[in-house]
């Protein structure tokens, strides 16, 4: 009898341990499922959130910030706007047509609208030119299978307990994927996404010989979804800007840099680091021009630049011009880096990345040699030890008219 009483006392404890009580255990699966159900149950909602790309290198940290505003009205309307230092991007779906517009390109496209919210977010979630290229985590919860979207290829999915993020009590979930690490925080009260963090450092390490010393983390910070049925109809209307050109495929990839060999180098005019300094490509026609596209956070660039300084010193008094084109970084940050490294070569600032795109640059560093007639004669992508010797030989040949 005594044994029976002890067993009866232990059964509720066992039920708790095994998860059979009325209280559901918190798991990554339950948090994703609950958030998805919550988002999908809303007739309409809108959210303004921030995306930060945090880059940490031996030269120090760099943060690029963009602000997004999104509105959704079920079942087929969406308005997404991005504003950053690089560009303004709009994605508008009125239920009949899906429009994309990119301000710095002055182009837009229009296509038939998907007929469900799931198909619509599938089109939009990884749209090119949404700044980081990482996609928008919030839209993953509108997928037909959010669980699979976030975890299908994961090697580990862990619930990491309660946390406070941006002042909000949250549940923390870590998802380890083959090449990235995803962390999500879900509000304990709202059940919605409060913040996401994607660490892509392992991708850089794998894809670049200098990537191992870079840490790149992309954060999305959601201050709070506004549930409303009062979103104005105008929000989902696309008005064609006066200077915009319609194209069939706004996201057709630019020509690869290597495809530009033996072609006329596109004209450009860029500001330099020094006050009032300007670089116009046409001003140097008749000289051999060396262009190098680079960034301070790029490991191979930092290895290459001292070698290019040597080349500059060797040829600067000849019919030769070197322009180091920095892409999409602040003048102050670039100036500090150049001063600390004691580089004397000319530096041009491609703040919005337009010239980088015009030249089809897809990776850093990319070096181009332009002959005296203004045509691109040689292209080098990436950096390999000893490459400076080949570059010097090519410059000698071009100076000799070959």
Backbone angles phi, psi at 6, to 5 degrees: -65, -45
Task: Give the active site residue among 298, 348, 361, 395.
Answer: 298
Q: Which two tokens stand for residue 280?
A: 């116009």
Q: Which residues pair with 55 in a beta bridge?
A: 62, 216
For the record, the structure tokens of 192 come out as: 């919605």
Catalytic residue among 36, 200, 250, 301: 301
Q: State yes or no: is 93 an active-site residue.
A: no
User: Contact, 63 vs 132, CB < 8 A?
Assistant: no
User: Among 244, 266, 238, which residue's Cα sits nearest to residue 254?
Assistant: 266
**Long-range contacts formed by 269-277: CB under 8 A, 24+ apart:** 270/325, 270/348, 270/349, 270/350, 270/355, 271/348, 271/349, 272/346, 272/347, 272/348, 272/349, 273/331, 273/334, 273/335, 273/338, 273/347, 273/349, 277/346
User: What does the angle CA 298 – CA 299 – CA 303 come to, to the nearest 5 degrees?
Assistant: 115
Neighbours of 70 (CB within 10 A): 20
Burial class (CB in 10 A: 0-12, 13-18, 19+), 109: middle
Query: What is residue 52's three-state secondary structure?
Result: strand
Residue 227 forms beta bridges with which residues?
45
For this structure, is 13 an active site residue? Answer: no
**Active site amino acids:** 298, 301
């Amino acid at each position: 009898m005594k044994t029976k009483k002890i067993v009866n006392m232990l059964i509720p404890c066992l039920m708790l341990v095994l998860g059979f009580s009325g209280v559901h255990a918190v798991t990554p699966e339950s948090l994703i499922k609950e958030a998805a159900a919550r988002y999908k149950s809303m007739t309409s909602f809108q959210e303004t959130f921030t995306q930060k790309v945090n880059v940490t290198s031996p030269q120090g940290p760099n943060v690029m910030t963009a602000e997004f505003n999104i509105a959704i009205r079920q079942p087929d309307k969406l308005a997404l706007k991005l504003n950053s230092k690089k560009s303004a991007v709009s994605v508008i779906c009125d239920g009949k047509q899906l429009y994309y517009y990119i301000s710095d390109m002055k182009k837009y496209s229009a296509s038939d609208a998907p007929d469900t919210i799931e198909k619509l977010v599938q089109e939009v979630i990884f749209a090119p030119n949404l700044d980081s290229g990482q996609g928008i985590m919030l839209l993953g919860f509108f997928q037909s299978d959010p669980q699979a979207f976030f975890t299908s290829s994961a090697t580990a999915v862990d619930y990491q307990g309660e946390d406070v993020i941006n002042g909000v009590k949250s549940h923390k979930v870590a998802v380890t994927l083959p090449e990235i690490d995803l962390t999500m925080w879900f509000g304990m009260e709202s059940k919605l996404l409060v913040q996401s963090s994607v660490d892509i450092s392992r991708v850089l390490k794998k894809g670049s010989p200098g990537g191992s010393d870079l840490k790149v983390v992309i954060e999305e910070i959601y201050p709070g979804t506004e549930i409303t049925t009062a979103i104005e109809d105008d929000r989902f209307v696309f008005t064609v800007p006066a200077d915009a050109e319609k194209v069939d495929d706004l996201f057709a990839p630019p020509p690869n840099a290597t495809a530009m060999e033996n072609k006329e180098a596109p004209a450009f005019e860029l500001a330099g680091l020094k006050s009032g300094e300007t670089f116009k490509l046409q001003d140097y026609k008749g000289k051999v021009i060396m262009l190098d596209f680079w960034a301070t956070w790029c490991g191979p660039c930092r290895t290459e630049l001292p070698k290019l300084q040597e080349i500059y010193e060797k040829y600067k008094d000849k019919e030769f011009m070197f322009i180091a084109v920095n892409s999409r970084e602040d003048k102050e940050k670039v100036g500090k880096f150049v001063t600390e490294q004691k580089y004397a070569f000319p530096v041009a600032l491609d703040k919005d990345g337009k010239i980088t795109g015009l030249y089809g640059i897809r990776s850093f560093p990319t070096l181009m040699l332009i002959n005296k007639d203004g045509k691109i004669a040689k292209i080098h992508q990436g950096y390999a030890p000893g490459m400076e010797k080949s570059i010097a030989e090519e410059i000698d040949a071009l100076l000799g008219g070959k």
